[in-house]
Amino acid sequence: MTNLSISILNVDNLSEFLENVKAIQKELSKSKVENILDISIHFDVMDNKFVPNKGVDIEKIKLVKEYGFYIDTHLMVEKPVEDKYIDRAIEYGCKDITIHYEIDNFDSAFNYLLKKKKENNLKIGVSLKPNTDIKVLEKYIKNIDKILVMSVEPGFGGQKYIESATTKIQEIKEKYKNVLIQVDGGINDNIFNLPIRAGANSLVVGSFLTKSKENLKDKIAILNIIENIEKMPKEANLDFEARTLQVVDGGYAKGDILLGIKIPRLRKLAKMWYNIISLDTLSFFISSDIHDYRRFAIFSLVNMANSDNKNEIKNFIDENINHINNWDLVDSCAPICIGKLNLNESDKKVYNMLRKYTKSANIWIKRIGIVSLLYFAKSNRKELVMKVLEDVFYDEYHLIQKANGWVLRELYKANPKDTLKYLIEKNNYKKLPNILKSYATEKMCIEEKNMLK
């Protein structure tokens, strides 16, 4: 599993923060979720010389050790040996120390660190600034445990991720296959997947986590789920998916990103996580350009629909309806999260609710209104089904015709006589759309089909 190394550079109350992280870690470990991120604490130690900042007090290593966290210390200092930073980190209990290649006395500092590695069973690392070429590590690599790729200029938290860091990670992964790769700087939920895909083993995350007490659990959950999705085997046929979902030039889903993850894997992941995450967590995934992320959000939402939070789910769908924008997302979500959840409501209330969807000019919102009828059709709520379909019955768009036919097929299975009569009346008024007719009559016998000719 990928290591999540939390930078405490911008933490105000360290003890409180560590308590919260520990509690979240404990809750996740007791749940049914698998492949949880390994969490450690990252110390950004600075001397106001190598970088213009003071960083974290190195003595706080002792406090973090009391909470049982693994610690990795990043020394952004000009003289790590002479100013005793290496010695003090070891004295306070750190077993993982990284120095910068760019310091003036790098060779002597590295040799000293190598000596301390042998004496104290340390892991040692070398950090590279964004513009430093990985070739500089060639002569040292056999003695390096970790390469820390800076994805911002070192010194301050809250900076923007430098995209060239992703390429550097890939180059290190290819050139130095056995070294651990850590990346530090500007990493948040929107960036977290990039270093993982490139081959990073450890991601340092700071401001994204440390500046939000109230939703720390949600944010740690998001990073865990991203890591799980990104590490899943890419087994699906991408060409087939791109065609069926229209992720092609000129297609209605142009711009979507497909990872190639098979649906059963995403369903399984959603089933593991849905009861320990919030709708706020799903807001990130359902709004993503990555189609697999949106699928995960929908599958989680479907699982959540079995609980007693009907109004919250309905509000969530309304707030995010523009992200439910392909037939697979609509057809997985609407029957359960709208239809089944409202089975006990009156026909009038359901009609007023669904008509807001079917009157929309947005094709996917319109389809949501239609496929939400599936459970009502199965329950033989024929008056409701037929009334809702009035707005869309002769719609020329093939995806709407398919949805109408699908609902009518289910109504026929529950009430063959009245459904056939309804279709005959509609056909007499105006010829049935071909796709609707094909789906609606699928379970009919030859004699019944002939009545519609």
Task: Kindly list the catalytic residues.
Answer: 44, 184
* SS3 call for 241: helix
**Residue 124 φ then ψ, to 5°:** -120, 145
Q: Any residues with CB less than 8 A from the CB of 216 and at least 6 apart, and which? A: 20, 21, 24, 209
Can you state the angle between helices 216-231 and 263-273, rounded to 10 degrees? 160
What is the residue type of 446?
I
Q: Which of 304, 356, 291 is nearest to 333 (CA)?
A: 304
What is the residue type of 51?
V
The total of other beta-carbon atoms located within 10 Å of residue 315's CB is 12
3-7/180-184 β-pairing: unpaired
Q: Which of 237, 143, 230, 235 is nearest to 192 (CA)?
A: 230
Checking phi first, is residue 93 left (phi over 0); if not, alpha (psi -120 to 50) or beta? left
In whole angstroms, what is the distance from residue 287 CA to residue 34 CA? 24
- Bridge-partner residues for 7, per DSSP? 42
Is-contact 201 3, C-beta < 8 A?
yes
202-205/123-128 β-pairing: unpaired
Q: Where are the alpha helices (DSSP H) in 245-309?
A: 263-273, 279-286, 291-304
146-150/71-76 β-pairing: unpaired
In whole angstroms, what is the distance from residue 311 CA to residue 317 CA? 10
Is-contact 236 261, C-beta < 8 A?
yes
Can you state the angle between helices 279-286 and 216-231, rounded to 10 degrees? 40
